[in-house]
Chain A
């Protein structure tokens, strides 16, 4: 027990109590406490202090809460929209820069779409070999669609393995729809080249002729019929090797019959298939059989 504790005694009278209560220390503590409390109510210094501290640390705090979330939603939205718009612009560029319908079909992904202006469509259409144009749109119908005032816009949409082309009027109504397969669109004829010999294709069975005989027969056809027999010889002229035999297909489609030209090159055989006019082939067959 220390000396102070030993010497301490309880106040004996109320006066002594009062004296002790009103000691300097007690009064100071009470006053400070009162000042703190009253000044807080009067001047809000506590709130200001906290407010200042929070303002000071504002930049270090996270951007969370409803208002920042809304901002993030907006940023996400604008990014998504930009992506969509960029995809559209990219599709538009594809349409503008495509060399051909097959190029367009190859580059335009499924679901991607772009508007094709009439002049551009005409350009791509005319770049097709004449006999392939009919597969896209009937030329006479196309004259009406492009020049008859029915088409407002041409809309091009990519799909798996091809493209869809819509001719649309001012009411956004489709007046003509064209489905083009990538396979049938090849402009350079490479898709019509099949490795192997004519015997591999049953459609030529019994109708295979030596090339010399075939071309001699052609030379016996009237000039206008000869010119109209094979619409486009580009694929044949570009083929390397020696032409040995020619097969004539056994079925017609849309007024055309397929011819197979068998080439030999570096010890390998391949067949180039082209379309020929049905009526001219019918005449040619008569000549080949010796009936013409």
Chain B
């Protein structure tokens, strides 16, 4: 029994032992922690010492960050189109207090309390990043963001973060909070090329930063998080949603009341739409800047403070943008595409001054902010029948053919060495029998074009196209005459501009002059005329192309109200992937392309294919009506050895006894439904149509 007696002190001793162990453990943990902290502090010191040697030197004062000179690009009328590398620095008292409150509330509401790092927020962010997989919490203060923007890449590494933190400590130590905030608001990016609050205020609202209202200021304060995603020009609603977040944070930080936030949230500030297409927002500027970079390098273009005098005609550029936007809206409707649909056809337009080669306007897509890919210069597409004028020039030059030469429109088989025969078919899939070459171009008859290229050879067509300024590589195959080689919109505009100039080639160019900051001329474009085609033969082709606009596949130009002398040619690829119209007056040559970026048919609601006449001609006409407004009307200059004759459309024979009609240049073209079936043709000395005796 005595063995079984319970020792009354045993429980107490057991508890005591447990307590002892607990206290020992706590003590161990405390001292271990202390030791670890000590080691960490020592390691931190060593690390700081080690890393600080590689840390970047801080400029003093911080305002030195905006000392890069800006490069200015001017339009042909002297208006500044864009300032590259521009950083307009202003002092804090020139910034709307609403904006300062908004940016502080949004980015770092304890900015005025911490010394570079928000420790609690950092610990919280660290915890979330480590223990909540998939979530990454940012904790950068305004000072850390400034340090990152000034010195570091956007690579996310611990080492980079640590360095950024150290630099933030130094920035805080060496500058006042006001200086830091001023540097910050002057260098943050707001998208659309605007760096700094002053540029952003002028870019988006066309006003100085000090005049920003709360609604505008809050909208801008939301942009630095993701300037592209919240770009108000492109995603106005997203930008407003982001503004709501900003306003809520301002309420939380005590800068505004909830009522004020609600009232502001209901406002939709008007954007400065005129700037939308300026800055790099213009495809024209992108192409020009690329060319400048190729010539001088990025340093000179972006940091050299150069002045570039572009060929862009601001008014025509605006007209081109409007014509493309409205034309594409009409095309969407024709195709039954809803506003919200993502995959929509694109368009491009290039306008060239035929007398000099100066590019007056360029649109590389329907919306720069949706796609920066410049289809005007970087995209190559099949030109379709748009290539036929080069074929007919080659035929007139190398064979004794002329616009009144008669060919049979019939199914043909062109034998090709070492390959199956080629069976070109007419677009309309019907054949009209005999017709003169002018009629063949007017109605874009493929079977006759194929017979002509079989006669003259594809090399001659390539030769003419290249002489006219087509720079894309061309395949010397028969089908080149039907536009199966890929060419750029710029190529087509340049090529037809040479025809418009009756054989005088001017290389297209985008700027007249480049000067350095001190006004010293670095480059000057001089216009050199280079005769590449015979004027009279070129005139014959131009006369045929006038027929296209007056009676043929391009007659939509007349129907839509453009009455000036004009010539051109439509182009549609077999599968309706591309719809072109390139046309010109004596002074302006314009090429318009429409189509999908991917190979996809342009089809209307009824599933009929859309041709150049339906897709591109309305855009071309709309642009030309606007662009030629107030310009004097001019006719194509007729070379002295050209005369007009009236001939039968199918026979090519004189409709009236031959007479020299050189002094009757204004002889009107017979109407399309001319019952006599005659048409006016331009013939050179020594060329005679047949006579019906």
Contact = CB atoms under 8 A, between A and B. Distances in A.
A119 interface: no
B302 A88 contact: no
A216 interface: no
Interface string B58-74: 11100001011100000
Contacts of A174: 526-529
Contact of B526 (A14, A30, A68, A172): A172
B310 to A, nearest CB: 14
B116 A59 contact: no
A88 B521 contact: yes
B178 interface: no
B512 interface: yes
A51 B172 contact: yes
Given A47-B116, A51-B170, A173-B527, A67 B522 contact: no
B670 interface: no
Interface string A31-48: 001000000010010011
Contact of A62 (B27, B56, B166): B56
Contacts of B521: 88
Interface stretch (A74-82, A135-143, A189-197, A229-237): A74-82
B330 to A, nearest CB: 37
Contacts of A52: 173
A68 B52 CA distance: 17
A1 interface: no
A289 to B, nearest CB: 44
Interface string B286-305: 00000000001111101111
Interface in A161-200: 166, 168, 171-174, 177
B173 A173 contact: no
B58 A11 contact: no
Contact of A54 (B150, B166, B526): B166
Nearest to B522: A84
Most buried by B among A33, A52, A77, A81: A77
Given A174-B526, A177-B528, A17 B166 contact: no
Nearest to A89: B520
A74 B68 contact: yes
Contacts of B166: 50, 54
Interface stretch (B16-24, B321-329, B362-370): B16-24
A58 B303 contact: no
Contact of B151 (A12, A44, A67, A80): A67
A70 interface: yes
A54 B16 contact: no
A105 to B, nearest CB: 19
Contacts of A47: 115-117, 169, 172-173
A8 interface: no
Interface residues of A, number: 52
Given A21-B23, A81-B516, A174-B528, A62 B54 contact: yes
B57 A73 contact: no
Contact of B173 (A12, A51, A74): A51
A166 B526 contact: yes
Contacts of B297: 77, 80
Given A12-B16, A174-B529, A54 B52 contact: yes
Nearest to B529: A174
Contacts of A29: 34
B532 to A, nearest CB: 15
Contacts of B57: 58-59, 61-63, 68
Interface string B137-173: 0000000000001111100000000000011011011
B28 interface: no
A58 B56 CA distance: 8
Contact of B170 (A55, A62, A73): A55
A21 B31 CA distance: 13
Contact of B56 (A10, A21, A64, A177): A64
B524 interface: yes
A66 interface: yes
A74 B303 contact: yes
Given A17-B23, A68-B57, A173-B356, A48 B173 contact: yes
Interface of A is mostly: helix
Most buried by A among B114, B117, B518, B522: B522
Contact of B303 (A14, A48, A70): A70
A46 B532 CA distance: 77
Contacts of B296: 80
B262 interface: no
Nearest to A40: B119
A160 interface: no
Contacts of B355: 173
Nearest to B53: A61
B525 interface: yes
A80 B304 contact: yes
Given A77-B304, A85-B522, A53 B65 contact: no
Contacts of A121: none
Interface string A81-104: 100110011000000000000000
A67 B186 CA distance: 13
Nearest to B17: A10
Given A70-B68, A173-B356, A14 B302 contact: no
Contact of B300 (A30, A50, A66, A80): A80
Contact of A172 (B56, B58, B174, B527): B527
A48 B65 contact: no
A67 B65 contact: yes
B130 interface: no
A119 to B, nearest CB: 20
B298 A73 contact: yes
Contacts of B304: 74, 77-78, 80-81
B39 interface: no
B169 A63 contact: no
Given A62-B54, A67-B150, A173 B526 contact: yes
B19 A14 contact: yes
Most buried by A among B150, B296, B527: B527
Contacts of B34: 29, 33
A155 interface: yes
A57 interface: yes
A88 B522 contact: yes
A7 interface: no
B43 interface: no
Most buried by A among B69, B299, B518, B529: B299
Contacts of B526: 155, 166, 168, 172-174
A55 B512 contact: no
Contacts of A53: 48, 52
B55 interface: yes
B490 interface: no
Given A44-B115, A54-B169, A54-B173, A172 B55 contact: no
11 contacts: A44-B114, A47-B116, A54-B52, A70-B68, A71-B68, A74-B68, A76-B303, A77-B299, A85-B518, A172-B512, A173-B527
Interface of B: 16, 19-20, 23, 27, 30, 34, 37, 48, 52-60, 65, 67-69, 114-117, 119, 149-153, 166-167, 169-170, 172-174, 296-300, 302-306, 355-356, 512, 516-518, 520-522, 524-529
The 3 tightest CB contacts between A and B, nearest first, are A51-B173, A65-B151, A77-B304
Given A77-B297, A80-B304, A173-B529, 20 more contacts: A14-B16, A44-B115, A44-B116, A48-B115, A51-B172, A51-B173, A55-B58, A57-B53, A61-B55, A62-B57, A64-B56, A64-B151, A67-B59, A67-B150, A67-B151, A68-B56, A68-B57, A74-B68, A174-B526, A177-B528
